Amino acid sequence: MNILLTGGAGYIGSHTTIEFIEAGHGVVIVDNFANSNPLVLKRIEEICRQKIPFYNINVADVVKLDEVFYKHKIDAVIHFAGLKAVGESVKIPVKYYRNNIDSTLALLEIMEKHNVNKLIFSSSATVYGEINNIPYIETMPTGHCSNPYAWTKLFIEQILKDVAAVNQDFSVVLLRYFNPVGAHPSGKTGENPNGIPNNLFPYISQVAVGKLVELKIFGNDYPTKDGTGVRDYIHVTDLAKGHVAALEYAKRHKGAEAINLGTGIGCSVLEIVKTFEKANKIKIPYQIVGRRAGDLAEYYADVSKAALLLKWKTQKTLEDMCRDTWRWQMQNPNGYN
Ligand code: UFG
């Protein structure tokens, strides 16, 4: 199939592009480098040993997006493009709602115009909000989100369900990611945050490479196994393969389906630090500080729906996630910059 990836130069988009090519699909990338770098495309081409059609456009630009659909026969779309910084979304909510929702609506208009009916959407575990018990299962209520970023994901899920309800040919999979980490095993592609990282893995790897002095662990008084926060970390390559499996599912089924992509296993911050140290034979200095506002104590996925419908499950271990993160960071101490 010929797949359009919006945001295909981003962290998850780039790794998913690689997996679609490896699975034998054709790809077209649309990205405006809002949170990515042109060098990513070169790296993907090196890994996949082929040229990738690329368009530097904003997905919300319907005229330019329309041209891409005229130029290429698109069979399905994987929609990653969107702003994703939780803290920033609290400060500039209008920009987040405008960007994430407008671009999705533009994409839906153009897909309809060109009769493209298969869509995989990059959603997030954050749609489960702050009220559910763990593990999170797709039948649970959503909402009670703590920030505008999370609401954009939930609102877009609703929009896509509404489209599927009226268009009998439409097939959409809402993939709810847990915590994607790691990098391509080649060390050529990985996560490239701007400035000081907010997320745990990029922060640890910048401590390891000497760019940051020590990790600050946000709280050790949570009601968890060792007091530190617990999450379901998933290797980005496993996550990427989940999209290939989701497209296979979308080919066979109509309607809208929300599916968790995680390992089903919760790991604490201290467990991550210890595994990173052991896997890479490197010391990570850390200090326990106060809790970070908005953090939940613990959550992880129920992954039975993904296993049943997508015939997919994760293959990589926590050690793989730590080793691949470190290889990427060592080979690219300044990311793509
Ligand atoms: N943590 C630290 N120190 C750090 C960074 C993180 O102790 O410097 C801890 C956090 O408190 C948390 C865990 O490490 O317990 C994971 O934090 P991340 O920032 O890596 O990830 P989050 O779970 O907070 O956020 C992720 C995604 C968001 C998404 C959110 C909810 O990055 O995009 O899950 O699903 F919105």
pLDDT per position as a tens digit, 16-59: 999 999 999 999 999 999 999 999 999 999 999 999 999 999 99
**Catalytic residue list contains 300:** no
Confidence of residue 77 (pLDDT cuts 50, 70, 90): very high
Residue 254 tokens, joined? 């109509």
- What is the average pLDDT score of the chain? 97
Closest C-alpha residue for ligand 1 atom 30: 126
What's the pLDDT score for residue 194? 87
Residue 78 and residue 298: Cα distance in Å, rounded? 29
**Interacting residues of 30 by C-beta distance below 8 A, sequence separation 6+:** 4, 5, 6, 7, 8, 54, 55, 57, 59, 65, 68, 81
What's the pLDDT score for residue 192? 93
Instruction: Dump pLDDT digits (tens) for 220-247.
Output: 999 999 999 999 999 999 999 999 999 9
Closest C-alpha residue for ligand 1 atom 24: 295
| Among candidate residues 194, 199, 181, 221, the one with its CA nearest the CA of residue 320 | 181
Residue 67, pLDDT above cutoff 90 = yes
Confidence of residue 65 (pLDDT cuts 50, 70, 90): very high
Closest C-alpha residue for ligand 1 atom 36: 126
Closest C-alpha residue for ligand 1 atom 28: 86
Q: Measured in angstroms, how far is the CA atom of residue 200 from the centroid of ligand 1?
A: 6
Confidence of residue 115 (pLDDT cuts 50, 70, 90): very high
Ligand 1 pocket by C-beta < 6 Å: which residues? 84, 86, 124-126, 150, 179, 198-200, 203, 215-218, 229, 231, 269, 292, 295
Percent of the chain with pLDDT over 90: 98
Q: Measured in angstroms, how far is the CA atom of residue 218 from the centroid of ligand 1?
A: 10
What's the pLDDT score for residue 337? 84
Q: Measured in angstroms, how far is the CA atom of residue 273 from the centroid of ligand 1?
A: 14
Percent of the chain with pLDDT over 70: 100
- Is this structure's pTM higher than 0.95? yes
Q: Which of 292, 300, 318, 321 to mutate to test the pocket of ligand 1 (most atoms within 8 A of CB)?
A: 292
What's the pLDDT score for residue 276? 98
Identified catalytic residue from 149, 177, 222, 299 = 149
Residue 218, pLDDT above cutoff 90 = yes
Query: Given the CA of residue 85, which atom of ligand 1 is nearest to it?
Result: 33
- The answer to whether the CB of 125 falls within 8 A of the CB of 299 is yes
Query: Given the CA of residue 124, which atom of ligand 1 is nearest to it?
Result: 35
